[in-house]
A and B are shown apart, each in its own frame.
Chain A
């Protein structure tokens, strides 16, 4: 059940500068665990001190914001694309 994860520039220092990585995970929260296992230290960047995903970070599964899905419990399937995007001002 590999998903493809798009890594934003600020986090590519954890992924050996890879902008996209394939990883096994069945849900968004499991994906955070799997990322931490492979890239130690990345969890502290994705989550705040209470373990919640940071307020200024948006996560999309197949282009859909997980806040329109099931947040951290959103189920991931084989071939899904997950994008991690820091919030940006609008225009």
Chain B
């Protein structure tokens, strides 16, 4: 065995539903039995024998400090993804009536300013190992940005698919890397279906389809980092956005793995999820006490989380229920207020998904579902500069003045008066 191979800690794939085992190739569903999703299987004894707080702290300032917990064999594609700031949000905490609130800010993740860089770094590393020369994805925007950027860095051909009505910033933020971009006339769920059909006949690596078991593991690093940044402790409560539900389940898996490997003391963490009212199939099922999802047609400004048929929705409901958390939905107006609130109190400009998370955080505090004493972490997954359309009409205007002192003085007095009013 070579030195490189000896670092591999995963042994294959397994169906999350029925447990049927599979070899670690490019496949994502339990094709021999039940079509359930496949998960990576690790040798946790091997991980435990190699990893300690000290070895992790000595690693790179990226997700690859946790590489023993990630499903790759050789050298990773490291574009500096991960290890984003965990901000103590004192102003926002006071505004909401909380004692201890943190913002995990993946809006400044590298290279494309969303949490998707985590999953794509892992997926494209694995794509290269499995011999793919063309990579692809179905995306609500952020994933397309990330796949196109990291494919460019890794020298992989790239063809990505998005709904045709996305925000300009997300379209431009994909095209700049010069992939082939397919803007599909339809919503994300239709794009996703088309991509499954394309994946059937083209031998491409779709990061969120046939590479999904590897891809989704990248989100676990959002759990590991929070533990490490809290001084090797778990929070009491987390709030995260729900699109497909995958991120939510992987933060939980990240917490559980660190407990299992003796890196953090065990304690129950409450998991709460955030959706936009215009696309809230998981929140609706949670409110009605259902364990199955009824798909919806999305209609919300929170396009990045507008998935009407969320594949991991049932698992997200299980986790919120088991941990004593909640799943709630907020209106588009509340989402815009959430974006502004985070910006004004903490200097963090997030996109609509982050506005959804902050608005749901506020709502859950008001409803008494988050205890003010709980150490709470809100996950901010994307950057506001990509979705400026959403807030353009809800913010102030500049004062247009002459380059003269009296012009400034007049405008300044006007500004003071409007603030007092």
Contacts and interface: CB of A to CB of B under 8 A. Distances in A.
B208 interface: yes
A10 B27 CA distance: 9
A48 B34 contact: yes
A90 B307 contact: yes
Interface string B198-209: 011100000111
Contact of B208 (A54, A68, A86, A90): A90
Given A60-B193, A65-B189, A87 B35 contact: yes
Contact of B246 (A60, A63, A89): A89
B69 to A, nearest CB: 19
A58 interface: yes
B243 to A, nearest CB: 5
Contacts of B307: 90
B119 interface: yes
A65 B309 contact: yes
A73 interface: no
Contacts of A91: 116, 119, 137-140, 142-143, 207-208, 243-244
Interface string B287-306: 00000101101000000000
B280 to A, nearest CB: 14
B310 interface: yes
Nearest to B35: A56
Nearest to B144: A91
Q: How large is the interface on A (under 10, 10 to 19, 20 to 34, 35 or more residues)?
A: 20 to 34
A19 interface: yes
Given A54-B34, A58-B309, A90-B140, A68 B295 contact: yes
Interface residues of B, number: 50
A67 B208 CA distance: 23
Given A56-B34, A57-B35, A58-B309, A90 B243 contact: yes
Contacts of A60: 193
Contacts of A89: 28, 37, 208, 212, 215-216, 244, 246, 311-312
A6 B189 CA distance: 17
A58 B267 CA distance: 37
A26 interface: no
Contact of A55 (B119, B143, B292): B292
Nearest to A48: B34
B366 interface: no
| 7 A-B pairs with least C-beta separation | A90-B244, A10-B31, A91-B143, A86-B29, A87-B311, A56-B35, A90-B307
